[in-house]
Structure 1
Amino acid sequence: MDRRGFLTAAGLTAAGAALASVGGQAFAAVRPSAPAGARAGAAAAAAGFAVPIDTVRHTRTWMAWPDSSAIWGSKLSGVQANIALIAKTIAKYEPVVMCANSASVSKARSACGSAVTVISTIPVDDCWMRDSGPVFRTNGSGGLDAVGLNFNGWGNQQTHAKDALVAGRVAAYAGVPFSTASFTGEGGAVETDGAGTLMATRSSLINPDRNPGVSQAQLEAAMCAAFGASKVVWFKGVLGRDITDDHVDATSRFLAEGSGLVQMPLAKDTDAWSNDARQQYQILSTTTNAQGHAVAVTKLQGPDYDKIRSTNPDFVGAYANYYVCNGAVIAPQFGDSTADAAAKKTLQRIFPGRVVEQLNIDSLGAGGGGIHCVTQQQPVA
């Protein structure tokens, strides 16, 4: 099932609607208790490890090759074509390692070409490397390690026996120390400016299917320990409407310390996702970061859903879900020519000196994700 349509397709609409109807009140009902085992915190903080912002130089990009018809059904070939296109495009700028199941290695290599390294030693369930992969950290002195966020299939909503082990196996392949965070989440659920500030949605993380019995304060402490940060900017989010419960990286991104971006809807759009984006912009543009500085927020105009190619009602048209690699920004385009051109212009202004490549990744968009969702950067130590 695709990620945005999962709840409806799985017959979980009533439960999702019940959660969504109480919004933030659902989180207040979570019973405070200590998270189990703070394993990635104090030692890492003492060593000065922190997750850098994704604009730093990368050693490589990690991706995963999907091959499950049980998950993707008739969409599988289109998603595979999108994954191959993204990998080949990134490989023009930095090395790409594609994790594939043994039975699919040949197909992945054929689709991705010789510029992409395809390996079979890290089995996968699906393609969302941002969520299942490790979060790499640096210490400014040549040190590199990795943290796993205890991926549990977005709250045990999808098979993930292989994906639950991907973070540790990627770290081992990269030859870096690995630890696990003292909370459960996904990489797409947390944005960092690399200078002490994180942002996330409450709906995705202060959620009983990821972190039962954990208060917001306890979760903040666990997140900051894992990422090497000191402040979390929280958005309410959208609960129970998609499998991710509204990952922040589809709407809001950090550009630098004191600088962020929010994708804005058209004035005519009044759905939950559009209202969520407006709330994220209001909060981010009026908050301060870990240094006490105001955050300057750039607006990135979203597409007109009446003008894009896809007619899928669950389509995710997230220009904000771009991926920054060495010398380039890999971004989507959706067929709304005016909005596509405007998004490219905005990204080019934000990232001067980098090539902005726009790709048709409509199959991924129909599956509930985008380019950032299927990539994970390994920064230079």
Structure 2
Amino acid sequence: MKNLFLTLLFLPLLSSCQGDEINAITDELKTTEVMYTMPEESAPHEGTWLQWPHQYQYGIDHRNDLDATWIAMTKSLIQGEKVFIITYDAVEKNRIKTLLQESGISLSSIEFKIYKTDDVWVRDNGPIYVKDKNNQLVIQDWGFNGWGKKADFLNCNTIPMQIAKDQKIKVLDLNTTMINEGGAVEIDGNGTLMATKSSILNSNRNPGMTQQQAQAYFKKYLGTTNFIWLEGKAGREITDMHIDGFARFGNTNTIVTMNENDLLYWEVPQNDITTLYNSKDKNGKNYTFLKLPLSKNNVVTTYGKKLGYKGSYVNFYIGNTVVLVPNYNDPNDIVANNLIQSLYPSRKVIGIDVRNLYANGGMIHCVTQQQPR
């Protein structure tokens, strides 16, 4: 439950409404100007947020199997920015400090925060940093309900508010406005948003919400005026087919995705593939495409579990000086790494072993969240 003083401090926002009230609010939003803009991922960062795996939800083996991935991400990111590490409690904080120090990693660019979490997916439950008309940072706290109440979420849903309080940054409480996970939307930094309807306009997230209503919210709060909507596939996995698993904006004029056969393997509907390949920016210009392969082989975890499916390289993360790319101990790792390196010549591409994380449904982009400078 949000504290009363937070409610008083922060801007008044839309409340849950029914019937004619929803229509009235929607009509108002249609004509509401852009109030906030979200910087693209490649814009300069103050730092990156990570929620470190712990034993309290899925057990100690789960935690231990994932530690190495978080160590590798931290080691890579501190080359060019701060790393904000969310730990479950003080015991976990000390354990993680020891792990990092034993790996030769300086703690000077790391800031620890103790907040209880349900899981590691900070992209989806964490703060969305935007800038207001005065170019000041604002944290948006969109609703998070465990991808349609498929997983525990009450702890993770409090994270943006806790961060805003700690950082003394103004926060917009959008919990009753819209359920919106960070991995469900991609922005090109030039006014275009790309998303699947299955992960936003879904009765398990936003029952009754129309595409027009969603666009009005995104225009006002993220600054996007052009929209690429794919149908997606509800039930494809826990996220109902987040866009960031198979299509990303590499920059303002490039979409990073896969070839048609690999998109079909990913179960992207054929009509969506056509829509994606014919996408245009807000000026009506076609995007350039960089198409990454899937892993050559089905992924096998470090502890020998055969997942029975291939891995995507599209779920990478752009840091200040590095680009972290999911790797699978696969022959196509180097192919994907080199292709992504060609897109970011001024940044160093670093492959991060995500095999154990992938067994839980996600890759690098899913577990990182940027804080703009």
Give the structure 2 partner of residue 56 of structure 1.
43
Alignment of 1:194-273 (within 5 A): 194-264=189-259, 271=265, 273=266
SS in 1 for 2:208: coil
| Cα distance in 2, alignment partners of residues 252 and 96 from structure 1 | 26
Give the structure 2 partner of residue 188 of structure 1.
183
Question: Which residue of 171, 174, 177 corresponds with 2:167?
Answer: 174
Deviation of the 1:164 alpha carbon: 0.7
Give the structure 2 partner of residue 77 of structure 1.
64
Deviations 1:287-328 (A, max 9, x none): 22222222222211211234x444533656121111100111
Give the structure 1 partner of residue 342 of structure 2.
349
Deviations 1:156-199 (A, max 9, x none): 11112211110121223233211033210210011011111101
Deviation of the 1:63 alpha carbon: 0.9
Question: Which residue of 352, 356, 367 corresponds with 1:359?
Answer: 352
Q: Alpha carbons of 1:335 and 1:290: their partners in 2 closer, same or farther (altered >3 Å)?
A: same
Q: Alpha carbons of 1:33 and 1:364: their partners in 2 closer, same or farther (altered >3 Å)?
A: farther
Residue 320 (1) aligns with residue 307 (2): no
Q: Alpha carbons of 1:73 and 1:261: their partners in 2 closer, same or farther (altered >3 Å)?
A: same
AA paired with 1:63? L
SS in 2 for 1:171: helix
Q: Alpha carbons of 1:167 and 1:50: their partners in 2 closer, same or farther (altered >3 Å)?
A: same
Question: Which residue of 51, 54, 74 corresponds with 1:87?
Answer: 74
AA paired with 1:149? W
Q: Alpha carbons of 1:225 and 1:46: their partners in 2 closer, same or farther (altered >3 Å)?
A: closer
SS in 2 for 1:130: helix
Alignment check: 8 A CA contact 2:34 2:219 kept: no
SS in 2 for 1:301: coil
SS in 1 for 2:74: helix
SS in 2 for 1:88: helix
Residue 304 (1) aligns with residue 299 (2): no
| Cα distance in 2, alignment partners of residues 75 and 314 from structure 1 | 19
SS in 2 for 1:367: coil
Deviation of the 1:251 alpha carbon: 0.8
Question: Which residue of 327, 330, 336 corresponds with 2:330?
Answer: 336
Deviations 1:70-99 (A, max 9, x none): 336743311232222212221222110101
| Cα distance in 2, alignment partners of residues 67 and 266 from structure 1 | 37
| Cα distance in 2, alignment partners of residues 36 and 105 from structure 1 | 48
Alignment check: 8 A CA contact 2:52 2:70 kept: yes
Deviation of the 1:350 alpha carbon: 0.7
AA paired with 1:126? D
| Cα distance in 1, alignment partners of residues 20 and 240 from structure 2 | 21
Deviations 1:34-75 (A, max 9, x none): 38988xx7999555x201110111001111112145336743
Give the structure 2 partner of residue 15 of structure 1.
none
How many residues are treated as equivalent by the alignment?
A: 342
Deviations 1:100-145 (A, max 9, x none): 1213111122223443635344322211110111111124754111
AA paired with 2:294? G
Question: Which residue of 118, 125, 128 corresponds with 1:125?
Answer: 118
SS in 2 for 1:183: strand
| Cα distance in 1, alignment partners of residues 41 and 124 from structure 2 | 15
| Cα distance in 2, alignment partners of residues 35 and 69 from structure 1 | 43
AA paired with 1:193? D
Give the structure 2 partner of residue 138 of structure 1.
131
| Cα distance in 1, alignment partners of residues 95 and 50 from structure 2 | 15
Deviation of the 1:330 alpha carbon: 0.8
Q: Cα RMSD over matched residues?
A: 2.8
Alignment check: 8 A CA contact 1:33 1:214 kept: no
Structure 2: state its 5+ residue gaps.
1-18
| Cα distance in 2, alignment partners of residues 73 and 241 from structure 1 | 28
Give the structure 1 partner of residue 16 of structure 2.
none
Structure 1: state its 5+ residue gaps.
1-30
Alignment check: 8 A CA contact 1:315 1:366 kept: no
> Once the two structures are aligned, what percentage of the paired residues are identical?
27
SS in 1 for 2:290: strand
SS in 1 for 2:143: coil
Residue 34 (1) aligns with residue 22 (2): yes
Q: Alpha carbons of 1:328 and 1:149: their partners in 2 closer, same or farther (altered >3 Å)?
A: same
| Cα distance in 1, alignment partners of residues 135 and 206 from structure 2 | 33
Q: Alpha carbons of 1:67 and 1:257: their partners in 2 closer, same or farther (altered >3 Å)?
A: same
Alignment check: 8 A CA contact 1:132 1:187 kept: yes
| Cα distance in 1, alignment partners of residues 289 and 21 from structure 2 | 35
SS in 1 for 2:329: coil
AA paired with 1:124? T
Alignment check: 8 A CA contact 1:316 1:368 kept: no
AA paired with 1:368? G
Q: Alpha carbons of 1:251 and 1:69: their partners in 2 closer, same or farther (altered >3 Å)?
A: same
| Cα distance in 2, alignment partners of residues 289 and 60 from structure 1 | 28
Q: Alpha carbons of 1:32 and 1:351: their partners in 2 closer, same or farther (altered >3 Å)?
A: farther
SS in 2 for 1:284: helix
Deviations 1:236-295 (A, max 9, x none): 21211321111111111112223211133756x854x2444x655432221222222222
AA paired with 1:351? Y
Give the TM-score normalised by structure 2: 0.83
